[in-house]
Amino acid sequence: MNRRLFLRNGSLAGVALTTLSLSACAPNAKDPKTAAAGPNENEAAAAAFELDEATIAQLQEKMTSGQHTARSLTELYQKRIAALDKSGPKLNSVIELNPDALRLADALDQERKAGKVRGPLHGIPVLIKDNIDTADQMHTTAGSLALAGHRAAQDAFIIKRLREAGAVLLGKTNLSEWANFRSTRSTSGWSSRGGQTKNPYILDRTPSGSSAGSGTAVAANLCAVAIGTETDGSVVSPSSCCGIVGVKPTVGLLSRSGIIPISATQDTAGPMARTVRDAAVLLGALTGEDPADAVTKESAGKIQPDYTVFLKADALRGKRLGVEKNHLQGSSEAVALLLAALEVLKAQGATIVEVDVDKQADAFGEAEYDVLLYEFKDGVNKYLATANAPVKTLADVMTFNTENKAKAMPFFQQEILEASNKLEGLSSPKFQAARRKSHEGARQLLDGVLRKNQLAAIVAITTGPARCIDLINGDGGGGPGFSSPAAMAGYPHVTVPMGQAHGLPVGLSFVGGPYAEGPLLGLAYAYEQASKKRVKPEFRGPFVG
């Protein structure tokens, strides 16, 4: 399967833009119209939560007033996780809770009492994707049983920054195993260590991936904010499918050291939140030059000290936006949502012009897949060589999976691992040519479209509404998302909720040039404030399995 088809089948990017089937996913499911329309026992169980939809600013107000402490907030989220993630609808988004969370919260409360508040994240509980190193009692496994028991010797750079900002590391989230780079027939949100994460809107739908647990947890109010990672779509697609805001930054804005890799060319961590403002706050806390990640040197002088200064209600006024014209075709629910979003953008003073990016980006898809295959082997071997994991190479991982097939590969295999492991090193002329074609080609494409049309951003449907969880056949597919152009170029991409199709969220994408996170967040904020399309989940529908 070529890279572009792999993306369209939802393994990294998402699901189709085509009309969503109303048929129930689970074999014993109730009528889907009932599942998507009426309250059920899961909704009733989750109805009352003191911190429901609370923003970072609101949580800070509660701590400043003495109504709450970092400890009490942490305890409330822990109880919420117990009630919804491990019981009730059993969302299965949190792979591990941090045994040190309350101790961290207590220390931060003592600092507050002493008059020291580190910033807007002081005392705020945050969940972290389970491919990011934390030097504590938690494990870092990328969802793989082959890495079970692995505890990192030191924090990833962005975790150091998060601790410095005063956040409480609440736990780690489940993900599509190996960030959805194990099999062409994989199921988003499933890992051999963590099992299947569910979409909190309709429980037998996929949360997309690979940052599935982070997306579901934020949407379901299991934390204040979370961190995901993306190579191509793995932040923005689950954000879209879970009705939240996701930010895929410019590659180089956030360090990748201490994160289990796929691609040195395309990998980045990114914030996932319920509001644009919260995403902006979290983004600002994670930035910084890291000697262990040379790409971050390019961010010197381009990092904004505070991304919230861009958040103005009139940020769309006078801006030219290019809409992906291929996303205007057809009569699907997602297209209807995009057309409605364009009217909101125009009402806020934006000028809309049609552009063609998606079809031109198709030409780079095969080369992108080759880049990821080459860089995955190189990156994973380097990561495992110095890790405390029982496996030391990609070949070791494959051997473990084969020897433990019943647990490690009960539904799909490891064709991508095998294909990657057969390749030679990064000095290969084929790799160099593929990287030039996909990375430089995508940059030239986006730069050209933005410059020619004098655009502040390109807007599009992030991905279609979530499809059925199918552990046998893997993710369904058929239509494009809009993650690949920005992913291949290493450019920023922000997604924000733009409505629902049959009770399932769909996101609106804003893509811009390098280090344009601030202006993009401003555009997304102005749209968010004018549209107010975020709707909290109600955990509808049955789930079998």
* 115 has a pLDDT exceeding 90: yes
For helices 394-403 and 365-385, angle between their N-to-C axes, nearest 10 degrees:
90
Beta-bridge mates of residue 258: none
Q: In this predicted structure, what is the pLDDT of residue 225? A: 98
| Among 93, 191, 214, 234, the one annotated catalytic | 234
The pLDDT-based confidence of 47 (bands split at 50, 70, 90) is: low
pLDDT over 90 (residue 464) = yes
**Amino acid 25: pLDDT:** 73
Binning pLDDT at 50, 70 and 90, where does residue 371 land? Answer: very high
What is the Cα–Cα distance from 222 to 83, expressed in whole angstroms?
10
What percentage of the chain reaches a pLDDT higher than 70? 90
Q: How confident is the model at residue 541, as a pLDDT? A: 83
Structure tokens of 217? 């947890």
Structure tokens at 156: 């990833």
Report the predicted TM-score, pTM, of the whole model to 2 decimal places: 0.95
Element (H, E) at 203: none
Confidence of residue 211 (pLDDT cuts 50, 70, 90): very high
- Tell me which amino acid residue 146 is: A
For 358-422, the three-class secondary structure string (H helix, E strand, C coil) is HHHHHCCHHHHHHHHHHHHHHHHHHHHHCCCCCCCCHHHHHHHHHHCHHHHCCCCCCHHHHHHHC
440-444: long-range pairs with CB below 8 Å, 24+: 441/363, 441/364, 441/367, 441/488, 442/361, 442/364, 442/484, 442/485, 442/486, 442/487, 442/488, 442/489, 442/491, 443/489, 443/490, 443/491
Q: State in words which class domain 3-365+436-531 has.
A: alpha beta
Q: Is the pLDDT of residue 98 over 70?
A: yes
- Catalytic position from the list 191, 210, 237, 483: 210
Average pLDDT, the chain: 92
Please say if 210 is a catalytic residue.
yes
DSSP 272-289: EESSHHHHHHHHHHH---
Q: Residue 144: left if φ>0, alpha if ψ -120 to 50, beta else—which one?
A: beta
Q: Is beta strand 125-129 parallel, antiparallel or unpaired with respect to 225-230?
A: parallel
Stretch 183-201: mean pLDDT: 97
**Can you name the residues that pair with 254 across neighbouring β-strands?**
251
What whole-number distance in Å separates Cα of residue 53 and Cα of residue 532? 13
**Residues sharing a CB contact under 8 Å with residue 41, sequence separation 6 or more, in sequence order:** none
Q: Which two tokens stand for residue 58?
A: 């609101």
Residue 240, C-beta contacts closer than 8 angstroms, at least 6 positions apart: 14, 208, 246, 462, 463, 481, 495, 497, 505, 506, 507
**H or E element at residue 318:** none
Residue 42 has a pLDDT of: 58
Q: What is the pLDDT of residues 307-350, one digit of tens each?
A: 999 999 999 999 999 999 999 998 899 999 999 999 999 999 99
Q: Considering only CA atoms, which of 186, 170, 180 is closest in space to residue 70?
A: 170
Amino acid at 463: T
- Are the CB atoms for 449 and 482 separated by under 8 Å? no
| 528-544 residue pLDDT tens | 999 999 999 999 986 54
At residue 253 the predicted structure's pLDDT band, cuts being 50, 70 and 90, is very high
Q: What is the average per-residue pLDDT within 382-396?
A: 97
Structural contact between residues 262 and 179, judged by C-beta atoms closer than 8 angstroms: yes
Name the residue among 163, 172, 109 with its Cα closest to residue 137.
172
The sign one gets for the Cα dihedral 209, 35, 540, 248 is: positive
CB 510 within 8 A of CB 526: no
Write down the pLDDT at residue 48: 84
- Distances from the Cα of 347 to the Cα of 350, 399, 408, 527, 531, angstroms: 7, 58, 52, 10, 11
Domain range list for the chain: 3-365+436-531
Distance CA 233, CA 209 (A): 8
Q: Which of 62, 93, 129, 191 is catalytic?
A: 129
Question: Which pLDDT does position 28 carry in this prediction?
Answer: 37
Average pLDDT over residues 511-522: 98
Three-class SS of residue 454?
coil
Cα–Cα distances in angstroms (integers) from residue 244 to residues 143, 198, 248, 506, 508, in the given order: 23, 15, 13, 9, 11
